[in-house]
């Protein structure tokens, strides 16, 4: 599963570090700054000087000590479908871990979600929840202000991929009436697009409780063009290897030598591929719809 990262790990890791810094700027937002023209900045060689991926991950492996019993069904005609875990197979959600294990990058939607269809150069957001979502895009100077834009149940929102004058990242923030702290998809386009799904702002810190995050109880997925990473979170799952649930993926100044080589859940896709994000991806409404792209 980690082949993707093995091949491009160095780039991704550095992208991730860059993204973290860039997104920190982006998230601060600046409501009083006017829209500025888009400037493209050429990427520097980010892959140099990164240590090998294999060197430290084994020391961080955490083996679960107990597995909850599987539910027993009372009749053959009733099938209990367990939510699949980060690895795609049946299993429980992760337990809280301040140092999540290496990210899992699948390149297709989980079998119980619809396939995501990207649209070139666009951000596509599907609201498969049966309630209205509100979208805010930060920072506002990167392509115009979107603040609390309503996306009705079942609707799809699109806008052009943005870029910022200072080359910082963009954060797409989703809330609802009852979920007032945002879930994020963060991206940055520069000779390609990097992206991640983040629950950091809406979960209860240092717990696995993400019920404050819109759509979490019915699942999330975000991706880009076919063959690029899809980060999914099953309904109700604490998905700490496919999304950000811990700031900087646990990287601190003190642990950076061991932690830097651990792949974080940041995707990368070729330029102009766009971003596609579905909220409530495992809902009945999601199952009932077919995307035409
Ligand atoms: C929305 O979906 C949830 C979960 O499936 C369900 O419990 C609820 O009744 C639905 N609400 C409406 C208004 O359809
Ligand atoms: C989970 O977090 C929500 C708010 O985000 C809170 O209302 C709820 O009580 C928490 N649940 C538990 C079991 O702690």
pLDDT reading at 278 higher than 80:
yes
Distance from residue 220's CA to the centre of ligand 2 (Å): 19
Mutating to test ligand 1, I would choose from 130, 152, 217, 283 the residue with most ligand atoms within 8 A of its C-beta, which is 130
- What is the residue extent of each domain of the chain? 1-62, 122-287
Q: Rg of the Cα trace of the chain?
A: 19
Which residue do the tokens 């994000």 mark? 277
Instruction: Say how many Å lie between the CA of residue 209 and the centre of ligand 2.
Output: 6
* Cβ density class 75-103: b for 16+ within 10 Å, e for less: eeeeeeeebbbbebeebebbeebebbbbb
pLDDT at 81: 55
In the structure, what pLDDT confidence band is assigned to residue 84 with cuts at 50, 70 and 90?
low
Cα separation, 67 vs 81, in Å, equals 17
Place of tokens 């330029």: 271
Ligand 1: residue whose CA is nearest its atom 6: 130
User: Which protein residue has the closest C-alpha to ligand 1 atom 13?
Assistant: 130
State mean pLDDT over 47-65: 29
pLDDT 10s digits, 224-236: 999 999 999 999 9
3-state secondary structure of 82: coil
How many C-beta neighbours within 10 Å does residue 107 have? 13
Output the pTM of the full model.
0.74
Asked if residue 288 has its Cβ within 6 Å of ligand 1, the reply is no
Neighbours of 202 (CB within 10 A): 21
Over residues 131-143, the mean pLDDT reads 95
* CA-closest residue to ligand 2 atom 4: 212
Q: To the nearest whole number, what is the mean pLDDT of the chain? A: 77
Q: What is the mean pLDDT of residues 136-143?
A: 93
**How far apart (Å, rounded) are the C-alpha atoms in residues 215 and 178?**
11
Whether 45 has a pLDDT exceeding 80, the answer reads: no
Model pLDDT for residues 152-201, shown as the tens digit of each residue: 999 999 999 999 888 789 999 999 999 999 999 999 998 999 999 999 99
Q: With a 6 A CB cut-off, is 130 part of the ligand 1 pocket?
A: yes
Give dist(CA 96, CA 255) in Å, integer: 19
Return the percent helix, strand and coil in the chain, to nearest 5.
15, 20, 65
Q: Does domain 122-287 have CATH number 2.60.110.10?
A: yes
Among residues of the chain, what percentage have pLDDT more than 90? 60
């Amino acid at each position: 599963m980690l082949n993707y990262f093995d091949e491009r790990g160095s780039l991704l890791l550095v992208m991730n570090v860059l993204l973290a810094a860039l997104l920190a700027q982006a998230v601060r937002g600046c409501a009083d700054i006017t829209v500025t023209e888009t400037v493209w900045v050429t990427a520097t060689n980010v892959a140099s000087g990164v240590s090998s991926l294999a060197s430290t991950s084994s020391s961080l492996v955490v083996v679960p000590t107990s597995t909850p019993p599987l539910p027993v069904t009372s009749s053959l005609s009733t099938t209990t479908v367990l939510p699949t875990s980060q690895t795609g197979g049946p299993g429980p959600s992760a337990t809280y871990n301040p140092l999540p294990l290496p990210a899992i990058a699948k390149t297709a939607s989980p079998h119980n979600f619809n396939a995501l269809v990207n649209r070139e150069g666009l951000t596509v957001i599907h609201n498969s929840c049966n309630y209205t979502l509100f979208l805010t895009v930060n920072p506002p100077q990167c392509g115009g202000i979107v603040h609390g834009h309503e996306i009705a149940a079942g609707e799809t929102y699109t806008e052009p991929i943005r870029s910022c004058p200072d080359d910082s990242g963009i954060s797409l923030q989703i809330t609802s009436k009852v979920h007032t702290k945002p879930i994020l998809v963060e991206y940055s386009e520069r000779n390609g697009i990097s992206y991640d799904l983040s629950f950091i702002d809406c979960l209860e810190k240092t717990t696995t409780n993400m019920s404050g995050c819109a759509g979490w109880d019915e699942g999330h997925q975000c991706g880009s063009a076919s063959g690029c990473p899809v980060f999914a979170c099953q309904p109700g799952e604490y998905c700490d290897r496919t999304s950000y649930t811990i700031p900087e993926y646990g990287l601190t100044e003190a642990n950076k030598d061991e932690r830097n080589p651990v792949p974080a859940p940041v995707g990368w896709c070729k330029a102009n591929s766009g971003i596609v994000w579905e909220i409530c991806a495992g809902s009945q409404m999601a199952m009932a719809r077919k995307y035409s792209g």
